[in-house]
Amino acid sequence: MNKNLFNLLSKFSKNEWNEFGDFLSSPYFVKGRDYSELYDFLKKYFQKPGYAPEISNDAVLKKIKNTLSNQTLENRFSELNKLAEKFLTLKNLESNQINYFSLLYEELSKRDLFVNFHTSFLGNKDKLIPVSSADFIPYSKIIQAEGFYQRYKMDFQGTYNQFCRQADCLTAFSLDRLLYFATEFYFADMYGTKYEAKRTKKVLSNIDFDSFFKLVTPADSEFYRSVLLRYHVYNSIVNPDNHGLIDVAEEYFENTKTGISLDVKIDYFQKMQANFVHHINKGEQGFLNKLFDLMNARLDDGETINFGLLDYPSSEFRDIVVIGLRVEEFDWVENFIGKYSALLPEAFMEEEKTLAHLKLYFAKKDFLRVLLIIRKQKPSKKHVHNIDVYKYKLMTNYELNYSDDLKLTIDNLNYYLKKEGIVEIQKKGTLIFIQFLIRLMKLKSGTSDETPDSFVSSLTKETEPLPEKRWFLEKAAEL
């Protein structure tokens, strides 16, 4: 089956499936081709809980009545993929009035129909409000159209008033993009990421953002509302010692969040989260509570997290559980798991729910309950999940001093890592975990040649990802 089509259709909501069916019924788009049987099969397939991550052409051909060759079926899938892309594009155009009127202007201006455009524009003016930088380019064309209309009426003052608004719109767009990249480059420099952006960095180094934004007044909010938010976030990130700037960014967001777009809100939360994590990594543990509050704000917002995406593992879900546990809000985490795990795709809902409970009870030091959950588990088809369960079993056996079970589980995990399909980075990280666990066991039993200090030194110098590093440090401190 066409993988692009499969990935695309797997993201369709129930309502989008119904709309796509109406779309495929239009002769204008399908050019006389009948896709109804394939559509009916695919709709039922993707709306069935726990559907397989892929399906062969032979399996599809057995389910449909239409006699097609394998190549013809591939052609139909390719056509459906293009139609699905067109459907989503037109759906977006229908919902985004700014893009719609921008394209309408392009077509009417080719025919010198500026009066027609002005009439349509006036009837929808209140709906055309730019809320994110993505709106600025098409909106600038609408402003330009109004400028040409004023010129058509011989109102040159009105023409240049519109052109000044267009220039301001595009200036806001340029600053928004520059601030976006300035923030990204700052994080890249912080983590030693290599990139090539000499020209952009040269421009950034010559802009005095502070002086420029002093010129922006509340009257300029038409274009600068989202740009100012990006500026305040940027300012709080590049001045890490001035915690008051974080308060400024948070306050500005609270005051403007109803007038900005979803993508701007998502970027705000992501940048602030990265900012808080950086402070936490520097040892400023007070930012854990700020990060927890930020996650709560995202959940309350209801739009900026989509737990229903078919992305495994669900990093958003896992991150929130971990943050809640770090601030020891155990009841909150339990309620979160109960409420939001139901929103996860059925394809991996149980795995994520189980792992979240393992983390919760391990953090609460209810180790016997951790083992009870593990004993009830059937092996998953997902290697990542099985390896995570093995790790919690190992750490729990260590906590309970079950040395025989600990050694047996290490052997079982080493054997499991020989299975096909385990990605190399996952295997490498797990082997590093096992190595540190064996060294810790030797330290605890008094059979090691190293000291706890040398173990900690080796652990802190480890550059490979090791999510359990905090646990190892805690256990070493107890020796």
Q: Where are the domains of the chain?
A: 3-95, 98-179
Over the stretch 3-13, which tens digit does the pLDDT of each residue have? 788 888 888 88
- Rounded Cα gap, residues 51 and 350, in angstroms: 14
- Rounded Cα gap, residues 358 and 371, in angstroms: 9
Q: Region 25-31: what's the mean pLDDT?
A: 89
Check residue 51 and give its pLDDT. 58
Check residue 308 and give its pLDDT. 74
Place 72 in a pLDDT band, splitting at 50, 70 and 90: confident
Check residue 62 and give its pLDDT. 73
Closest CA to 198 of 216, 221, 181: 181
- Take residue 395 and report the two structure tokens written for it: 């750490």
- Rounded Cα gap, residues 386 and 138, in angstroms: 49
Q: Region 229-255: what's the mean pLDDT?
A: 93
Q: Are 314 and 352 in contact (CB under 8 A)?
A: yes
Residue 418: how many CB atoms within 10 A of its CB?
8
Over the stretch 86-126, which tens digit does the pLDDT of each residue have? 999 999 888 888 888 888 888 888 888 888 888 887 788 77
- Tell me which range, 211-215, 345-349, 402-406, 419-423, is most confidently predicted by mean pLDDT: 402-406
Task: Please report, rounded to a whole number, the percentage of residues in the chain having pLDDT higher than 90.
Answer: 42
Check residue 48 and give its pLDDT. 67
Over the stretch 299-353, which tens digit does the pLDDT of each residue have? 998 877 888 776 666 688 999 999 999 999 999 999 999 999 998 888 788 999 9
Residue 396: how many CB atoms within 10 A of its CB?
24
User: If you ran DSSP here, which 8-state letter would residue 251 be given?
Assistant: H
- Rounded Cα gap, residues 360 and 26, in angstroms: 52
Q: Are 169 and 136 in contact (CB under 8 A)?
A: yes
Report DSSP letters for 409-434, one per residue.
HHHHHHHHTTSTT--HHHHHHHHHHH
Check residue 428 and give its pLDDT. 93
Contacts of 431 (CB under 8 A, 6+ apart): 417
This model's pTM is above 0.85: no
Q: Are 179 and 212 in contact (CB under 8 A)?
A: no
- Rounded Cα gap, residues 12 and 81, in angstroms: 13
First to last CA, the chain: 56
Place 216 in a pLDDT band, splitting at 50, 70 and 90: confident
Q: Are 135 and 173 in contact (CB under 8 A)?
A: no
More confident of the two residues 92 and 472: 472
Q: Region 374-388: what's the mean pLDDT?
A: 90
Q: Are 402 and 441 in contact (CB under 8 A)?
A: no
Check residue 8 and give its pLDDT. 87
- Rounded Cα gap, residues 227 and 222, in angstroms: 10
Check residue 97 and give its pLDDT. 85
Least confident of 159-163, 256-260, 375-379: 256-260
Check residue 311 and give its pLDDT. 66
Task: Please report, rounded to a whole number, the percentage of residues in the chain having pLDDT higher than 70.
Answer: 96
Place 1 in a pLDDT band, splitting at 50, 70 and 90: low
Over the stretch 427-471, which tens digit does the pLDDT of each residue have? 999 999 999 999 999 999 999 999 999 999 999 888 888 889 999
Check residue 123 and give its pLDDT. 80
- Take residue 235 and report the two structure tokens written for it: 């300012």
